[in-house]
Amino acid sequence: MWFFRRKGPSGFSSSSTAEEVTQGIDASGLTAIVTGASSGIGTETTRVLALRGAHVIMGVRNMAAGKDVKEAIVKEIPTAKIDAIELDLSSLSSVRKFASEFNSSGRPLNILINNAGIMATPFMLSKDNIELQFATNHVAHKSSKEGRIVNVSSEAHRYPYREGIRFDKINDPSGYSSFAAYGQSKLANILHANELAKRLKEDGADITANSLHPGAIVTNLFRHNSTINGLVHLLGRAVLKSVQQGAATTCYVALHPQVKGVTGEYFSDSNLAKPRPQGQDLDLAKKLWDFSMDLVK
């Protein structure tokens, strides 16, 4: 569609694909972790990073699906370097096991892409008794200090609960809204990246942390709402991004030289964007950091 072709200052637009935004970039020698890599934009992000030479570690809950994705990518790109490690983001013990297994490999970590997420689920608690969307989309992605850190957020961060983060009601089913809870978790992605960027700067680390909106994409994220899911698949090809376009901003922030040294920012359509004011609230980001650290103890 015509409005997809408007290029921003980066030279890219919402119609740009992940391959286009990484054209000519050599990622050889880099190791990247991509969570939620067995479907949707996680798979495409994995494919394009591997295409550019990065060694990609797929964090996947379903190892059989991960194996299928790996085999399909290697069949297309025989030089691809890909491994899969089991990772269930609804379980902190699984997150710790994944981190331990990766650390035992002795590989440096250059790029961490927190891509995995769930959307608009009925009220449920994670294996650690934390509201499922907040646990999966935010808490499990409390990041280590390595290279470029990329949090895949969403424009849904503009529609959280009125107070932004319901610190005193995270696990309270009363007043629960599946979409507001999703917005809350995506707002948390932005605040987490901002606070992490601030702390890394203070430590003098040459590591960036940013967040992004991948765009509205035809994926299985809407599976918990049959009406919206039906509309998405009916109208999707006409008004939504393809998976190749949806993975573009992630790959841009993870690899492009234009983003070198840029930290604590929010991106959309492979260009700088502005989150809602709550997403720029330093006090809220600090409060969320402390709150989240208590949850993962």
Record the pTM.
0.90
pLDDT at 47: 98
Structural domain boundaries of the chain? 20-296
The string of pLDDT tens digits covering residues 209-233 is: 999 999 988 655 544 455 555 555 5
- Find the mean pLDDT for residues 81-101: 93
Residue of 161, 176, 182, 252 marked active site: 176
Distance CA 233, CA 253 (A): 28
**235-293 tens-digit pLDDT:** 555 568 899 999 999 999 999 999 999 999 999 999 999 999 999 999 999 999 999 99
| High-pLDDT (> 90) share of the chain, % | 74
CA dihedral 180→283→208→84, nearest 10 degrees, is -40
Q: Is 159 a catalytic residue?
A: no
CA atoms within 13 A on the CB side of 116: 28
Pairing mode of beta strands 271-273, 266-268:
antiparallel
Residue 195 — very low, low, confident or very high, per pLDDT cuts 50/70/90? very high
| Distance (Å, whole) CA 156 – CA 290 | 23
Q: Is the pLDDT of residue 139 over 90?
A: no
Helix residue ranges, H only, 107-240: 132-137, 178-202, 226-239
pLDDT at residue 162 in the model = 92
State the chain's mean pLDDT as an integer: 89
40-71 pLDDT, tens digit per residue, is 999 999 999 999 999 999 999 999 999 999 99
In the chain, DSSP finds a helix count (H) and a strand count (E) of 10, 8
CA distance 31 to 37: 15
pLDDT at 74 over 90: yes
Helical packing angle, 63-76 and 40-51, nearest 10°: 40
Is the predicted pLDDT of residue 22 greater than 90, yes or no?
yes
CATH of domain 20-296: 3.40.50.720
Alpha helices by DSSP H, listed for the chain, are 18-21, 40-51, 63-76, 92-104, 132-137, 178-202, 226-239, 243-246, 248-255, 282-295
